[in-house]
A and B are shown apart, each in its own frame.
Chain A
Amino acid sequence: MSEPEEAIVSHTFSVLVDNEPGVLARVIGLFSSRGYNIDSLTVSETEHEKHVSRITVVSSATPMVLTQIRAQFERLVPVHKVRDLSNTERPLERELALIKVAGAGDARVEALRLADAFRATVIDATVNHFVFEITGRTSKINQFVALMEPLGLVEVARTGIAALSRGPKGIFDD
């Protein structure tokens, strides 16, 4: 059956939830049972006293499905508030990655030089390896990882995206 062809776009949702047991499973269950993509997912308690966590999800889909995703979030019982950050002006999105590179000689020098250019910091090193820490937009990290590939890339750990809207207003000020 041919749905009207619509472009797939990527959106970032910020979701405030009560930090109760199982809330992450609920969110993941929602995505898997309805066949939505998760490109990135981060969860962490943000206000300890109020037991509130913020979930940041990046998903790519047609605009109709993205509206669905938002509505599906809103009907989860422990959800306080959902915001589609991609509907705000240039949302702030950052990711942190730890990148392990092993090697010697020219490759090692080149890795360090590139790390410097990308403002990655060395957080562990021996004579034949570095672990870099880098923060930035996903595209920047992707680029850095790609550059490390031929220089002895061993492994990468990434946090997924944390995001906020610009300006003085918070999620409840919509």
Chain B
Amino acid sequence: MSTGEPLNGAQIVLRALADQNVEHLFGYPGGAVLPIYDEIVQQDKVKHVLVRHEQGAGHAAEGYARSTGKPGVVLVTSGPGATNMVTALADAMMDSIPLVCLTGQVATQLIGNDAFQECDTVGITRQCTKHNWLVRDVNDLARIIHEAFYVATNGRPGPVVVDIPKDVQFAMGNYVGPHKIRHNTYHPKVKGDMEAIRQAVDMLADAKKPLFYTGGGVINSGPEASHLLRELVQLTGHPITSTLMGLGAYPASDKQWLGMLGMHGTYEANMAMYECDLMFCIGARFDDRITGRVDAFSPNSKKIHVDIDASSINKNIQVDLPIVGDVAHVLEDFLRIWRDRAHMPDKAASKVWWSEIDEWRARDCLKFKPNKDVIMPQYAIQRLYENCKGRETFVTTEVGQHQMWAAQFFHFDEPNHWMTSGGLGTMGYGMPAAIGVQMAHPDALVVDIAGDASILMNMQELSTAVQHKLPVKIFILNNQYMGMVRQWQQLLHGNRLSETYMESLPDFVKLAEAYGARGIRVEKPDDLDEAIKEMIEVDMPVLFDCRVANLANCFPMIPSGQPHNKMLLGEEVSDDDVGSAISDEGKVLV
């Protein structure tokens, strides 16, 4: 819709955001975005959330996007504002999170002159965005912003950048509304090839030991995809596992759920991957943390791969049947054909397959030694989970052992309730992500399961939480180490701990108070439940310093360079096994 009255570039930005139904904008001001900030303060459709560091704005927008299914939107200034966003963009790129990032740029006539706070934002972000634009003419601005939303959210989602020079923000130009835009080139295919889907139905019907291996693509496809997945899995009675990114798409409380797979996945999930005769991969990408050793990956299975991104197919693992399309669309067609053919599950085969799985389950791979005196990190997550049950709870994490324990011991029954940095593995993701989630879900319980090292990477965002009255709970598994790196040093480098002890950690309780938040410290297992309850009850941000066993290792584990059937189980390995688990070839793969 053309507005008739002329608008300046900054007004066009706000108008376009409002027309895209943007309710929240995460940002940080600076010289090159002053005109846009001047418009922000004069309107109330789009609420601006001021962060403390641009990376925080990026991760907050990621958390917002992941928990709502809507794109996250950020606004930062030129130069350092833009470069501070790069990590979040790369993170969103890896995990397929729709982000629209608006950056200020120096005036067009200054571009290329090494002007103050100039950087080549489109150049720097080209490889870590799905697409980016430099707007040189104010009359292109509205179209480009609408295109940016379209590109970020269609096909495989991802981050985009729109770089807007300051003179363009001042210039007067024409506004066009979103419905006028039809993209010139980008029209990703959502419907799967029907012949391939029919073939997939036949393959599943013939399989004796089938396994569903699902990923973040199911969540990105929307709630309908999770719904259809549940229908399919329950209709067939087959086991299902998922990647880190896909947790919640299928309810963890269901008996067909085998737990997460991959490097720190469950024994039963990984053994099922190794032994299955049909692998039905839906919205996952055969990442190296999932496959382990590629030439020994699931040697006896036929593989079907559903993915909206054709470039994910046959990238790491050759599959027998690729289906390019959106998960929900493909599953809908699949289910219709499956039902039409009235396939009955092969009960006898299923019984044999499940009894094999039950034997693996009986190994109880997540077992750990309880302790009366010190809090075991796994126990802490178990108690956290039990105390959060019955509430609408969203969990974000930082990166490290705590992240893996969270994935293993906190169980998700719904999609969009688990946000973690999977592909890039970005320490410092969790707290800003929690802020984004809480912004979108003001009444829900939002917990960042954190590590003592990671939390310090974006600690400043506690101030954002306090300012915006966002009662996020930062649950720190404080082991005084960069635990995951320490574990690798033990595994790979003769337990020579190099720079992984967190000396001079702050007093987290005092730190919380300094920010105007609540601090809680717990050191004894017996005090844990009471303290967690308090954390949940207080209506303000909380830093929860949970002192846990310092040297616990995260098991089970597929050592690098090993196949799925060579897992190390925590209860069963000695320190010697741990020290020699990884071969020299495996070391380079870490």
Residues on A facing B (Cβ under 8 Å): 1-3, 17-18, 21-22, 25-26, 29, 33, 64, 67-68, 71-72, 74-75, 77-80
Chain B, 565-590, contact with A by CB distance < 8 Å: what is the 0/1 string? 00000000000000000000100010
Determine if B127 and A75 form an interchain contact, defined as CB atoms under 8 angstroms apart: no
A26 to B293, CA, bound (A): 32
Determine if B185 and A80 form an interchain contact, defined as CB atoms under 8 angstroms apart: yes
In whole Å, how far is B311's beta carbon from the nearest beta carbon of chain A? 4
Asked, given contacts A68-B311, A77-B151, whether A25 binds B123 with beta carbons under 8 Å apart, the answer is yes
Determine if A68 and B185 form an interchain contact, defined as CB atoms under 8 angstroms apart: no
Determine if A29 and B130 form an interchain contact, defined as CB atoms under 8 angstroms apart: no
Q: Cβ of B156: which chain A residues have Cβ within 8 Å of it?
A: 75
Residues on B facing A (Cβ under 8 Å): 122-123, 126-127, 130-132, 134, 151, 155-156, 184-186, 293-295, 309-311, 313-315, 318, 585, 589
Q: Cβ of A17: which chain B residues have Cβ within 8 Å of it?
A: 185
Determine if B294 and A1 form an interchain contact, defined as CB atoms under 8 angstroms apart: yes
Asked, given contacts A1-B293, A22-B126, A64-B318, whether A75 binds B185 with beta carbons under 8 Å apart, the answer is no
- Most chain B beta-carbon neighbours within 10 Å: one of A25, A26, A29, A77: A77
A74 to B312, CA, bound (A): 12
B132's nearest neighbour on chain A, judged by CB, is: A22
In whole Å, how far is B548's beta carbon from the nearest beta carbon of chain A? 36
Determine if A18 and B123 form an interchain contact, defined as CB atoms under 8 angstroms apart: no
Determine if A77 and B295 form an interchain contact, defined as CB atoms under 8 angstroms apart: no
Determine if A72 and B122 form an interchain contact, defined as CB atoms under 8 angstroms apart: no
A22 to B122, CA, bound (A): 9
Q: Cβ of A25: which chain B residues have Cβ within 8 Å of it?
A: 123, 126
A25's nearest neighbour on chain B, judged by CB, is: B126
In whole Å, how far is A165's beta carbon from the nearest beta carbon of chain B? 21
Report, nearest first, the 8 A-B pairs whose CB atoms are least far apart.
A71-B311, A77-B131, A71-B310, A77-B186, A72-B311, A80-B185, A29-B127, A33-B127
- Most chain B beta-carbon neighbours within 10 Å: one of A67, A71, A75, A80: A75
In whole Å, how far is B157's beta carbon from the nearest beta carbon of chain A? 12
B122's nearest neighbour on chain A, judged by CB, is: A22
Determine if A2 and B295 form an interchain contact, defined as CB atoms under 8 angstroms apart: yes
Partner of A67, one of B294, B309, B314: B314
Determine if A18 and B184 form an interchain contact, defined as CB atoms under 8 angstroms apart: yes
A80 to B131, CA, bound (A): 15
A57 to B315, CA, bound (A): 20
Asked, given contacts A25-B123, A25-B126, A29-B126, whether A78 binds B311 with beta carbons under 8 Å apart, the answer is no
- Most chain A beta-carbon neighbours within 10 Å: one of B122, B123, B186, B311: B311
A72 to B309, CA, bound (A): 9
Q: What are 24 pairs between A and B in contact, CB < 8 Å?
A: A1-B293, A1-B295, A3-B294, A3-B295, A26-B126, A29-B127, A33-B127, A64-B314, A68-B311, A68-B314, A71-B309, A71-B310, A71-B313, A72-B311, A74-B310, A75-B155, A75-B309, A75-B310, A77-B131, A77-B185, A78-B184, A78-B185, A79-B185, A80-B185
In whole Å, how far is A1's beta carbon from the nearest beta carbon of chain B? 6
In whole Å, how far is A35's beta carbon from the nearest beta carbon of chain B? 13
Q: Cβ of B134: which chain A residues have Cβ within 8 Å of it?
A: 21-22
Q: Cβ of A22: which chain B residues have Cβ within 8 Å of it?
A: 122-123, 126, 132, 134
In whole Å, how far is A112's beta carbon from the nearest beta carbon of chain B? 47
In whole Å, how far is B147's beta carbon from the nearest beta carbon of chain A? 9
In whole Å, how far is A24's beta carbon from the nearest beta carbon of chain B? 11
Q: Cβ of B294: which chain A residues have Cβ within 8 Å of it?
A: 1, 3
Interface of A is mostly: mixed
Q: Cβ of B313: which chain A residues have Cβ within 8 Å of it?
A: 71
B134's nearest neighbour on chain A, judged by CB, is: A21
Additional 12 contacts, C-beta under 8 A, given A1-B294, A77-B131, A78-B184: A1-B293, A1-B585, A1-B589, A3-B295, A22-B122, A22-B126, A25-B123, A29-B127, A33-B127, A68-B314, A75-B156, A77-B185
In whole Å, how far is B331's beta carbon from the nearest beta carbon of chain A? 22
- Most chain A beta-carbon neighbours within 10 Å: one of B126, B134, B318: B126
A67 to B310, CA, bound (A): 9
In whole Å, how far is A30's beta carbon from the nearest beta carbon of chain B? 9
A81's nearest neighbour on chain B, judged by CB, is: B185
Q: Cβ of A78: which chain B residues have Cβ within 8 Å of it?
A: 131, 184-186
A71 to B318, CA, bound (A): 15
A71 to B184, CA, bound (A): 19
In whole Å, how far is A140's beta carbon from the nearest beta carbon of chain B? 35
A1 to B291, CA, bound (A): 13
Q: Cβ of B589: which chain A residues have Cβ within 8 Å of it?
A: 1
In whole Å, how far is A97's beta carbon from the nearest beta carbon of chain B? 32
In whole Å, how far is B155's beta carbon from the nearest beta carbon of chain A? 7
Determine if A68 and B293 form an interchain contact, defined as CB atoms under 8 angstroms apart: no
Asked, given contacts A1-B293, A18-B185, A64-B318, whether A75 binds B311 with beta carbons under 8 Å apart, the answer is yes
A33 to B127, CA, bound (A): 8
In whole Å, how far is B43's beta carbon from the nearest beta carbon of chain A? 30
In whole Å, how far is B119's beta carbon from the nearest beta carbon of chain A? 15
B123's nearest neighbour on chain A, judged by CB, is: A25
In whole Å, how far is A107's beta carbon from the nearest beta carbon of chain B? 47
Q: Cβ of B126: which chain A residues have Cβ within 8 Å of it?
A: 22, 25-26, 29
In whole Å, how far is B572's beta carbon from the nearest beta carbon of chain A? 27
Q: Cβ of A75: which chain B residues have Cβ within 8 Å of it?
A: 155-156, 309-311
Q: Cβ of B293: which chain A residues have Cβ within 8 Å of it?
A: 1
A71 to B322, CA, bound (A): 13
Q: Cβ of A21: which chain B residues have Cβ within 8 Å of it?
A: 134
Q: Cβ of B311: which chain A residues have Cβ within 8 Å of it?
A: 68, 71-72, 74-75
Q: Cβ of A80: which chain B residues have Cβ within 8 Å of it?
A: 184-185
Determine if A68 and B315 form an interchain contact, defined as CB atoms under 8 angstroms apart: yes
In whole Å, how far is A162's beta carbon from the nearest beta carbon of chain B? 22
A29 to B132, CA, bound (A): 14
In whole Å, how far is A161's beta carbon from the nearest beta carbon of chain B? 24
A26's nearest neighbour on chain B, judged by CB, is: B126
Q: Cβ of A67: which chain B residues have Cβ within 8 Å of it?
A: 314
- Most chain B beta-carbon neighbours within 10 Å: one of A1, A25, A26, A80: A1
In whole Å, how far is B292's beta carbon from the nearest beta carbon of chain A? 11
In whole Å, how far is B82's beta carbon from the nearest beta carbon of chain A? 16
Q: Cβ of A74: which chain B residues have Cβ within 8 Å of it?
A: 310-311
Q: Cβ of B123: which chain A residues have Cβ within 8 Å of it?
A: 22, 25
A150 to B496, CA, bound (A): 61
Q: Cβ of B132: which chain A residues have Cβ within 8 Å of it?
A: 22
Q: Cβ of B585: which chain A residues have Cβ within 8 Å of it?
A: 1
Q: Cβ of A3: which chain B residues have Cβ within 8 Å of it?
A: 294-295
Q: Cβ of B122: which chain A residues have Cβ within 8 Å of it?
A: 22
In whole Å, how far is A68's beta carbon from the nearest beta carbon of chain B? 6
Q: Cβ of A18: which chain B residues have Cβ within 8 Å of it?
A: 184-185
